[in-house]
Structure 1
Amino acid sequence: MDATAKSGTVTALDKVTRHKPSQEEVENAVRTLIAWAGDDPTREGLIETPGRVARAYSELFAGYEQSASDALSKIFREVGGYDDIVLLKDIPFHSHCEHHMVPFFGKAHIAYLPHEGVVGLSKLARLVDVFARRLQTQETMTQQIIDALNENLNPRGAAVMLEAEHMCMTMRGVHSHGVTTITHRFTGVFAEEREERERFFAFVGKR
C-alpha cells in the first residue's frame, strides 16, 4: 500500500483495485485455519464451512467495493434556508479490527452544518457502513468519515463521534468486558467554536 493509501484519505481507499484470490484459494485458506485450530475440515459439520466463510466475508467486507462519494452524491439544495446543525445519532455499526480480525461494534454520531445543501439521512448511515465494512481501527474510521463529509458536502463544520466495544479486549488478551472506546473529530465551526462542540455533545447525550 502506498503512502497516500496509508494516510486514510477517502480518495485512496474508495474502490481500491487489487488482486483478489479465487474462491478456491479462499476456501483452501479457511481449511488450513480449521486444521491449524485443531479440528478436521473434512468432518460433516465443517465440510461446507469454507464456502460459508467466503460468502460471509464478501458481506462483512463489502466496504472495499463501495464508495463514500457515491453514498453522498445526491445533495438537496432546496432546504428552505435551513443552515443549522443536522445530526444523526446512535447509528449502529460493526467492523473488524485490522490487528486481530475480530469484531468491534457500537454507535456512530454524525453532525454537520450545511453550506451547499444537505444529503438524505439514510446516506449518513450508509457512509458509516462503507467504512465499517473494512478492516479498521476505530481512530482511522473516525477520520475517514469526517474526511468524506468535508470532501463531498463542503459543510461549514462537521463532527463525528464513535463509541465501540472491541472484542480483541473481551475475547482475548486482558478479557476486559464492558469497556467502551470513544473517538471523535471536529472540523470547521465545530473545531473553532466551543459552543458548537457543546451543542453536539448535548445532542448526543455526552454532556
Structure 2
Amino acid sequence: MYKKYVPALLVCFFSVMAAHAQAPARKIDTTMKFGKSGYRIVCTNKNADKNLLTVKPINFEKEAGGDFTLDIKGRLLKTEVEDLNRDGFPDLLLYTIMPDDSLNRVNLFAIASEENKSVVPIALPDIYNDPKLRIGYKGNDTFFLMEGNLIRRYPIFPTEGAPAAAANGNMVRQVQYAVVREERGYKFKVVRTYDFTK
C-alpha cells in the first residue's frame, strides 16, 4: 500500500531556508507515537548528500503494507509526530538539511496516516509563490508545532514592499499553517500570518 504513494511522497519535499548551519552527522533511530500508534524512523546520516531513510509504522493495520524506504537528500535533522489533520491518527514530519549548502536550505517531508491503513503526502506550497509571504523573505526559517498547527517564523529583510522596520533587522514574520484535504492527499494552508518586531 505504501509503495503506491512513494512517488507522490517524494514530490512533497520543499526547499526553505533555516537557521541551522550544520546538521550533526549521527545516526537517527527513534520511535515517535501519537497515542498508541506512530512511526519508527531510522537514518544512518553517514553521507552529506544522500542517505537511506526507513519508516516503520507502528500499530498500523495489516493491510498497510509494512516499512518503506526513501533516498533523501542531505541528512535527517529532526522528526516530529502530531495529528495535523485532526482525525485521531498520527502524521509524520521529517526535516532534512544539506550540511554543505551555503543557503542552509531545509526540506520537509510530511505524511498523513489514513486511518492507519495507508499514508498520503502533505504538501507545503512554495513560499515564493505567495505574493505576500515572499516580500522580504531570505530564508532563516524556524518551524515548530503548536496546538496541531505548523508554525513558521523568519526575519524580514529590506526589500521593495517590506515594512520599514525590516531595515534594521528587527521585523519577524510568523505564518500559521493548517492541514486541509486535497484530491491526492493533503496540503498545508496558510490560515494566519502577521509581522512583529523582536
Query: Which TM-score tier does this pair reach, normalised by the shorter chain?
Result: 0.3 to 0.5
TM-score by length of structure 2 reads 0.34
Structure with higher Rg: it is 1
**More helix per residue: 1 or 2?**
1
TM-score, with length taken from structure 1: 0.33
